[in-house]
Amino acid sequence: MKYSILLLFILNFIVRPYGQDFQVSNSSVKHTINLNYYVDTWKFSIQSLEMVKPGGNSYANFILQEKVKATNKYPRKPIMLNPRSYNNFPEFLIENGFEGNLYNNKIPNDNTLAISNDNIIIAGINSAYIIYDLNEDSLLLRTTLNSITYSFTNLLFVKKYDPKFIYDHEQDRFIMVFLVGNKPVNSHVCVAFSTTNNPLDDWNVYMLKGDAVDSGHWTDYPAISLTKDDLFITGNLLLDGVSWQLGFKESIIWQIDKLSGYNGADSLEFNLWSDIKDDSINIRNIHPVRGARELQDKKQYFLSNKNFSLESDTLYLLSIENSQISGDPSFEMKRINLNDHYFLSPNGQQYNGKELATNDSRVLGGIIDKDWIQFVNHSMDTSSGTAGIYHGIIYNYEINPFVESTIISDSVVDFGYPNIASTGINPNEKECVIGFNYTSANDTNGVSCIYMDNNRNYSRFTKLHRGLRAIDRQSSTVNRWGDYTGIQRKYNDPCRTWISGMFGKIGSNGSWISSVAVSDTCREKLPHLFLEPSFQNGVLFPNPSNEIVYYDFTLEESLDLKILIFSIDGRLVDILYEDYVKSGPQRLSFDIQSLKVGTYFLVIENNGSNIYTKKIIKN
């Protein structure tokens, strides 16, 4: 793996007052639907074998030509002269695994997945989805997206595709979003809200007009995220039947009051954000960032980049502040220029000589915590010429962002379609799981992941499921590979992450669902971390250190103190002291030579309540 630190600086800071580019609307139409009333007996389909390419065929041809240029400039290396290695390889457990959707007549898989606190999974690919009960290890429902739209009779036989599912762990509800139709005359975005935590109960279903700004375009490539108040949907507006250069109009954002959807309002209240530009250039493929551990409050962030460029140093950080219902939302955009570049990724190789398309370098997943945003997208590793994953961490994102980044790659295996989920328990713990597809000229293909711990050590590339054969369902030399990977942390068991990806089968392609765990028993939260003002008292020095550490602090009254050391993952390392201490200034000292290199917490308690907490770095 290639590791580098990219220092980012802001060349341009844009705050756009959006005037006519911001619209308030409630033009959606609501139906109430129960999945038990619709039985898709035939699962009939006469749609094309291949799903619509993001941006259209001409866009795919342009990307293919650019990939040839990139490969010629940075050819694959047959042997890595200086293999990269790490001192620490954090371990994780591969747990459950099963094939998610047996019925699939199209490629690629538009994998999406959501899991509730009650262990109910909704997992989709293309136009089909399943509802699975992990408690009973039973399939509750296997059906198609027609089950959500059956009462919209005028759209019953129109194409349904590109599903996106999400679980709202605060409201204990599910949301489904998918596209209906791919022409301006019939283009819609279907938005469905479960009325309870049981997806077999009623759903409130709404249709948003795909030609959202009445410009004769249709909506493509949806992505979704939630805040405490709102549902955000992003999409691209395209012309039908023309090249991507002429056909792309703009990317748009729906900001929807989610409670009105849960409660079954007659129509959805939403804001529509459009005309999102960097100077005169429309931003393309905007991806919303999801809360790493909890839903964000009053502010939603988005990411985009120069995703179809051969090589670029540009990252866009967008945000919408205040809820839809507040009536006072505001939009902000920062253009960040990187000191280092990301690259258009080559296609993945297969043993049969055919390749698998990696598409462009758009952001495919992002998570946010109090002090950072993490995101993933495709990028070539120019040292090996293989398809890798750009994993970036944006710090200080509200004021002066800077980024540390890693290109995750292999000298032989190609990686594709990454997505990311947090496994952190406490605020700002960076640990995460990155799920993705893999392929190789020396092997088949399948679903895999990598775990990163809080010290930014990456695990080994680990295969979750190995495909049975090459993906070879198209006559062209480049086959579609899986436009998305589904991933979600288990919110009430956050050490566990569920992943859904694509693998090759004999005569078709499959979707594999798997869970991984970063420990066999999920650790408890550190209660002292919720008392952030305690970090302000006293001085701990030297820090970092590898020997004696001193901590100066003051007690306003005499107390019985308990002084403890915790590891970064919340495990008690040792109790240093447990006795009475008089009021006034204090200095404690202790030797940390016995500790392994890493980050720890010094905690001072009185009768179980935290008084002071200090972070210790052992080097």
pLDDT, residue 608, reads 81
pLDDT, residue 4, reads 34
At residue 365, what are phi and psi to the nearest 5 degrees? -170, 145
pLDDT, residue 26, reads 65
> Is the pLDDT at 11 greater than 80, yes or no?
no
pLDDT, residue 536, reads 39
At residue 61, what are phi and psi to the nearest 5 degrees? -65, -40
All residues at 6 or more sequence positions from 65 whose CB lies less than 8 Å from its CB, including other chains? none
> Is the pLDDT at 102 greater than 80, yes or no?
no
Alpha carbon 452 to its chain's center? 15
- Nearest residue to 580 (alpha-carbon basis) of 547, 558, 597: 558
Pairwise pLDDT comparison (160 vs 60), residue with the higher score: 160
The stretch 28-52 carries a mean pLDDT of 68
Pairwise pLDDT comparison (30 vs 236), residue with the higher score: 236
> Is the pLDDT at 528 greater than 50, yes or no?
no
pLDDT-wise least confident of 190-194, 271-275, 300-304, 402-406: 402-406
Its sign, for the CA torsion 88, 94, 95, 101, is positive
What's the rounded Cα separation, in Å, for the pair 141 and 137? Answer: 13
What's the rounded Cα separation, in Å, for the pair 190 and 205? Answer: 7
Q: Tell me which amino acid residue 426 is.
A: N
- Contact call for residues 490 and 496 (beta carbons, < 8 A): yes
pLDDT category of residue 273 using cuts at 50, 70 and 90 = very high
What's the rounded Cα separation, in Å, for the pair 344 and 380? Answer: 6
- Contact call for residues 497 and 487 (beta carbons, < 8 A): yes
The stretch 158-186 carries a mean pLDDT of 95
- Contact call for residues 361 and 336 (beta carbons, < 8 A): no
Pairwise pLDDT comparison (369 vs 87), residue with the higher score: 369
What's the rounded Cα separation, in Å, for the pair 518 and 526? Answer: 17
Neighbours of 57 (CB within 10 A): 13
pLDDT, residue 499, reads 98
pLDDT category of residue 42 using cuts at 50, 70 and 90 = low
- Contact call for residues 130 and 122 (beta carbons, < 8 A): yes
> Is the pLDDT at 46 greater than 50, yes or no?
no
pLDDT, residue 587, reads 78
- The residue whose two tokens read 């399939």 is 139
What's the rounded Cα separation, in Å, for the pair 238 and 244? Answer: 8
What's the rounded Cα separation, in Å, for the pair 368 and 471? Answer: 34
Pairwise pLDDT comparison (382 vs 106), residue with the higher score: 382
* Mean pLDDT for the chain overall: 86
The stretch 286-293 carries a mean pLDDT of 97
pLDDT, residue 619, reads 87
- Contact call for residues 300 and 288 (beta carbons, < 8 A): yes
- Contact call for residues 380 and 345 (beta carbons, < 8 A): yes
> Is the pLDDT at 127 greater than 70, yes or no?
yes
Peptide bond just before 542 cis, omega within 30 deg: yes
The stretch 63-70 carries a mean pLDDT of 82
- Nearest residue to 230 (alpha-carbon basis) of 264, 259, 193, 198: 259
> Is the pLDDT at 180 greater than 60, yes or no?
yes
- Contact call for residues 549 and 589 (beta carbons, < 8 A): yes
Indicate the pTM of the whole model. 0.82
Question: Which tens digits make up the pLDDT trace of 423-481?
Answer: 998 888 999 999 999 999 999 999 999 999 988 999 999 999 999 999 988 888 999 89
Q: How many CA atoms lie within 13 A of 600 on its CB side?
A: 27
The stretch 551-579 carries a mean pLDDT of 86
Neighbours of 126 (CB within 10 A): 29
pLDDT, residue 88, reads 61
The stretch 532-546 carries a mean pLDDT of 64
